[in-house]
Amino acid sequence: MNKKKIMLVDGMALLFRAFYATAMSNYFMINSKGVPTNGVYGLVKHLFTAVHRFEPTHVICCWDMGSYTFRNALYADYKANRGAPPDELVPQFDLAKEVVEALDIPNVGVEGYEADDCIGTLTDLYSKDHEVMILSGDQDLLQLLKPNVSVLLLKKGYGNYAEYTESRFIEEKGITPLQMIDVKALMGDSSDNYPGVRGIGEKTAIKLIKAYHSIEGILEHLDALPPGQQKKIKENLDMLHLSRDLAAIHCQTEVACSLDNAVYSINEEKMAATFQDLEFKNWRNNLVLQPKVNTK
């Protein structure tokens, strides 16, 4: 079997990053039909730039499917701190998927799960025999690092990445990627709005996991901890276990995508028609100058 290079794209992460990069200056690229396109334009640029740099043989784009997931069923306040998306972003959710489809890149997602869960499931499926590259700006995906898997975290601008392998993560953090789940269970996540153990921050959480390896290890040696830490953990024990369930990427979703449908090979005529219809300005120079575009 020929080893393939599969890029799994966190579509929502790219769309949000691209949208807010120009929305802060009120530049929404509204076309003659009244449709804002700044987020979609930037998503395509992020995508093509990464494809040119890392040269995957296959590309799949994963999406959240609505705001309600199984994590909301576990904890009603999960992500409850997030406001409604800006009006200019709302029409770009569906539009982004339409543009990705026009590039002959599969869109995948599962109701009740986040894009992270789809990425985790496909990573487990493909990494047994192939190289998997995860493109996102979400550090939660670092827990998926293992042999044959890398995570490409977007940094400011285009073409700038923090490239993580399992070995780099361990060297930098001093813990394994899977132990990151227990660290987040302890420290919580203000972005996703779950508290973990109140009063325990990242530094203390990492120190505890380094010393005791897991939540179970900490609980087995609870009496060895300083009284203040013992008290915090005992008072937040239920939330500690719940936070770990919320932090862990669920890698057993029902998402599926045949690699035969994910070969990166763009139909240039269809792409051109789509970009012109959306009135993307200077797209030939700004979007597709770098990527290798193959006509089917």
What pLDDT does 241 receive? 97
194 pLDDT higher than 70: yes
Q: How many CB atoms lie within 10 A of CB 39?
A: 28
Rounded average pLDDT over 78-99: 95
Give the strands of the sheet with 5-10, arranged side by side: 107-108, 58-62, 5-10, 131-136, 149-154, 161-164
Per-residue confidence at 1, pLDDT binned at 50, 70, 90? low
50 in Cβ contact with 162 (< 8 Å): no
Residue bearing the bigger pLDDT, 290 or 153: 153
CATH 3.40.50.1010 fits 5-170+249-286, yes or no: yes
- The answer to whether domain 5-170+249-286 and domain 173-247 are alike in fold is no
296 pLDDT higher than 50: no
What pLDDT does 213 receive? 97
What pLDDT does 2 receive? 83
Domain boundaries, the chain: 5-170+249-286, 173-247
**149 vs 2: CA distance, rounded Å:** 17
pLDDT 10s digits, 149-187: 999 999 999 999 999 999 999 999 999 999 999 999 999
pLDDT 10s digits, 111-129: 999 999 999 999 999 999 9
What pLDDT does 286 receive? 84
* Number of helices followed by number of strands (H, E) in the chain: 13, 6
What pLDDT does 32 receive? 96
Rounded average pLDDT over 80-97: 95
The pLDDT > 90 percentage for the chain reads 92
pLDDT 10s digits, 28-79: 999 999 999 999 999 999 999 999 999 999 999 999 998 899 999 999 999 9
What pLDDT does 295 receive? 45
The architecture CATH gives domain 173-247? Orthogonal Bundle (1.10)
When the pLDDT of each residue in the chain is averaged and rounded to a whole number, the result is: 94
Rounded average pLDDT over 181-202: 96
Rounded average pLDDT over 272-281: 94
What pLDDT does 38 receive? 97
What six digits make up the tokens of 250?
Answer: 């669920």
pTM: 0.94
Per-residue confidence at 87, pLDDT binned at 50, 70, 90? very high
210 pLDDT higher than 80: yes
Length of the chain: 296
What pLDDT does 284 receive? 86
290 pLDDT higher than 50: no
**128 vs 259: CA distance, rounded Å:** 14
Rounded average pLDDT over 245-270: 95
What pLDDT does 178 receive? 98
Taking CA atoms, 143 is separated from 123, 128, 138, 214, 252, in Å, by 11, 17, 11, 14, 15
141 pLDDT higher than 90: yes
pLDDT 10s digits, 2-37: 889 999 999 999 999 999 999 989 999 999 999 999
